[in-house]
Amino acid sequence: MLPLSRCSLPTSSNPGPGPSLGFLLHVHTMICYVLWLAACCLLLLLYSVRFRSRISHGNGPRTYPLIGCLVSFYQNRWRLLDWYTEMLAASPTQTIVVDRLGARRTVVTANPVNVEHILKGNFGNYPKGKPFTDILGDLLGTGIFNVDGELWYAQRKLVSHEFSARALRDLEFAVLEDEARERLVPALGLAAARGDAVDMQDLLRRFSFDVICRVSLGVDPGCLDPALPAPRLAAAFDAAAGIIARRGAAPVAAVWKAKRALGVGSERMLREEIRVIHEAVMDLIRIRKKERGLQVNDADGRRSDLLSRMIECGYPDEMIRDMVISFIMAGRDTTSSALTWFFWLLTRHRDVEREVLREVTGGGGASHAAGGQGKMSVLHAALCETMRLYPPVAWDSKHAAAGDVLPDGTRVERGDRVTYFQYGMGRMESIWGANAADFSVQRWLSIGEDNAPPAAVAGVSPFKYPVFQAGPRTCLGKEMAFVQMKFVASTVLRRFEIVPVDEGRVPVFLPLMTAHMAGGLNVTVRRRGEPIAAAATPLDPSADPVL
């Protein structure tokens, strides 16, 4: 600090008696300086008290006052999934607390008992919460995917009823058969004939977009039809999902919120894409209302897509719009993501591929004749195992409505983000044993005696495998998703052998809103001689409808 006597020396600019302006400025600066130092000390004290209590479990990343774990977060930003998984595996409770500047305190868990508590036991305390609904709200509005409490409950009741309706399932089967017969098989057949490489991920995403639009909206976007231009609606969904995923991953939410308020950059683009989606769906609602009673497609004279059924129920247009957009978002990329990893894994595990092929072509032994093939246990197991290692939804977060203590003793504060981490859970040795990292279909099967085909292992807890979430908010499309995945897998495998263009490549798992394979899955396809006669599938117990 400067000696006061030096500060008080008269200067040429302040020759008069009394304190000079320079002196006053110095005093003012000093007071500011002291106050600033005191504020810093106080903040440091507060943070160290707060952080000491937060890392008292000793789990989680290295955390410092003020910045929290920002440094290690930044260092690991390209491998967040594996970084979290390593920390969770090292934690005695498989739970960590992540605190960093710019983000709310986050409890991440891979502990099935905690997961059951969050998703079921204390369900009411763990809504999605405002931070989540803020991110998705512009696109999803008040659709089921993006609301809590009464709004969610009412939609859940309504939609559960619709999803269990026979008419919707019949529509799904018809759409799957048509889409496979008219588009997927010809597209792969053409690639096989020409020896062209195809991106399986892209093909499967187009397929599932067509299917979900036909089932939800009752319109065919023709995404997989090479004769038609890529539909604007599909592009709008892609662009909007990408920008929203970036909102979710932004280190500081205030940045995207400011861009939105100013209507600039990616937020301006998002607004435009959302406008396209909203207008397209509202147009459909208006058209469908006009044609009500004129166009029919099921036996009792009603259209059976979700949009038409909701119109019949008399819901307001905006509510219908939001609901169907939620279905499209939920059902669109999830199945294609799982199938992309499934086909890639089979190229690395030809023994499993042979078993699946044997099952879907009816070569599974004596008990197949008794109808056991309808369940397709090996295929089912291979799909479950794929999603254990590569879950379409890599993690999922709730926000604590009130303070709580998780069953493993981790303290949760009001407003904390509480994340259950499907990707990490699939890799925990504490859950799956020492071979957790291996692709092992056997863990889902019990091998039957006397040559009987393997049966599915019963009772794998959804809290240790929350790939479809669990508890009251379990995925509503789980059954529909398995039907679709089994149908596509058996349709493709019976006809084509898939060979990755780069056989040595280990693809990167990208946890966007729905997980993707970075760079897609480029493959060549070979016809397996003549199409192999189909086993009965859950879709059609008597024949192969695609042939």
Rg of the chain's alpha carbons, rounded to an integer?
28
Neighbours of 73 (CB within 10 A): 21
Quick one: which of 468, 487, 496, 509 contacts ligand HEM (CB under 6 A)?
Answer: 468
Whichever of 71 and 220 has its CB closer to ligand HEM, that residue is: 220
Piece of 23-31, 81-89, 326-334, 372-380 that binds ligand HEM (CB under 6 A): 326-334
Phi, psi at 393, each rounded to 5°: -110, 110
Whichever of 159 and 352 has its CB closer to ligand HEM, that residue is: 159
Whichever of 248 and 448 has its CB closer to ligand HEM, that residue is: 248
Cα–Cα distance measured from residue 99 to residue 94, given in angstroms and rounded to the nearest whole number: 17
Cα–Cα distance measured from residue 460 to residue 445, given in angstroms and rounded to the nearest whole number: 11
Residues near ligand HEM (CB under 6 A), total? 21
Q: How far is the CB of 467 from ligand HEM (least distance, A)?
A: 5
Which residue, among 428, 398, 425, 429, has the nearest Cα to 414 in the 3D structure?
398
Q: How many residues does the chain have?
A: 547
Q: For residue 219, what are the CA distances in angstroms to 36, 180, 214, 304? A: 63, 17, 5, 12
Does 467 bind ligand HEM (CB under 6 A)? Our answer is yes
Does 493 bind ligand HEM (CB under 6 A)? Our answer is no
Angle at 36 between CA 31 and CA 39, to 5 degrees: 125
Piece of 283-291, 391-399, 401-409, 531-539 that binds ligand HEM (CB under 6 A): 391-399
Whichever of 145 and 463 has its CB closer to ligand HEM, that residue is: 145
Whichever of 20 and 469 has its CB closer to ligand HEM, that residue is: 469
Q: How far is the CB of 469 from ligand HEM (least distance, A)?
A: 4
Quick one: which of 61, 477, 500, 507 contacts ligand HEM (CB under 6 A)?
Answer: 477
Does 223 bind ligand HEM (CB under 6 A)? Our answer is no
Does 334 bind ligand HEM (CB under 6 A)? Our answer is yes
Q: How far is the CB of 479 from ligand HEM (least distance, A)?
A: 9
Binding mask 127-166 for ligand HEM (x = CB under 6 A): -----------------xx----------x----------
Quick one: which of 99, 148, 396, 404 contacts ligand HEM (CB under 6 A)?
Answer: 396
Piece of 275-283, 324-332, 526-534, 537-545 that binds ligand HEM (CB under 6 A): 324-332
Sequence letter at residue 547: L
Whichever of 187 and 325 has its CB closer to ligand HEM, that residue is: 325
Whichever of 364 and 392 has its CB closer to ligand HEM, that residue is: 392
Q: How far is the CB of 335 from ligand HEM (least distance, A)?
A: 5
Piece of 69-77, 286-294, 408-416, 464-472 that binds ligand HEM (CB under 6 A): 464-472
Does 321 bind ligand HEM (CB under 6 A)? Our answer is no
Whichever of 476 and 546 has its CB closer to ligand HEM, that residue is: 476
Quick one: which of 481, 488, 513, 521 contacts ligand HEM (CB under 6 A)?
Answer: 481
Whichever of 61 and 392 has its CB closer to ligand HEM, that residue is: 392
Which residue, among 464, 425, 469, has the nearest Cα to 89 in the 3D structure?
425
Does 392 bind ligand HEM (CB under 6 A)? Our answer is yes
Which residue, among 331, 324, 322, has the nearest Cα to 208 in the 3D structure?
331
**Contact call for residues 305 and 218 (beta carbons, < 8 A):** yes
Cα–Cα distance measured from residue 34 to residue 246, given in angstroms and rounded to the nearest whole number: 41
Whichever of 406 and 476 has its CB closer to ligand HEM, that residue is: 476
Concatenating the DSSP letter of every residue in 239-305 gives: HHHHHHHHHHH-S-HHHHHHHHHHT-HHHHHHHHHHHHHHHHHHHHHHHHHHHTTTS--STTS---S
Q: Note the Cα 296 to chain centre separation in Å.
A: 35
Does 204 bind ligand HEM (CB under 6 A)? Our answer is no
Piece of 22-30, 220-228, 332-340, 409-417 that binds ligand HEM (CB under 6 A): 332-340
Q: Is 475 annotated as a binding residue?
A: yes
Which residue, among 403, 500, 397, 482, has the nearest Cα to 444 in the 3D structure?
482
Angle at 234 between CA 484 and CA 281, to 5 degrees: 95
* DSSP conformation class of 513: S
Query: Helix, strand, or coil here: 446?
Result: strand
Token pair, residue 490, equals 């058996």
**Contact call for residues 417 and 376 (beta carbons, < 8 A):** no
Helix, strand, coil percentages (3-state) for the chain, rounded to 5, are: 55, 10, 35
Angle at 243 between CA 241 and CA 248, to 5 degrees: 90
Cα–Cα distance measured from residue 217 to residue 239, given in angstroms and rounded to the nearest whole number: 20
Q: How far is the CB of 422 from ligand HEM (least distance, A)?
A: 7
Query: Helix, strand, or coil here: 64?
Result: strand
Quick one: which of 418, 431, 480, 523 contacts ligand HEM (CB under 6 A)?
Answer: 480
Token pair, residue 323, equals 């609901």
Q: Which of residues 338-357 bind ligand HEM (CB under 6 A)?
A: 338
Quick one: which of 139, 274, 475, 525 contacts ligand HEM (CB under 6 A)?
Answer: 475
Cα–Cα distance measured from residue 256 to residue 38, given in angstroms and rounded to the nearest whole number: 33
Phi, psi at 404, each rounded to 5°: -160, 165
Position of minimal CB gap to ligand HEM: 477
Q: Which of residues 229-248 bind ligand HEM (CB under 6 A)?
A: none
Which residue, among 498, 476, 428, 361, has the nearest Cα to 93 in the 3D structure?
428
Whichever of 51 and 327 has its CB closer to ligand HEM, that residue is: 327
Q: How far is the CB of 235 from ligand HEM (least distance, A)?
A: 20
Return residues touching ligand HEM (CB under 6 A).
Answer: 144-145, 156, 327, 330-331, 334-335, 338, 392-393, 396, 467-469, 473, 475-477, 480-481
Residues that constitute the known binding site for heme = 475
Residues that constitute the known binding site = 475
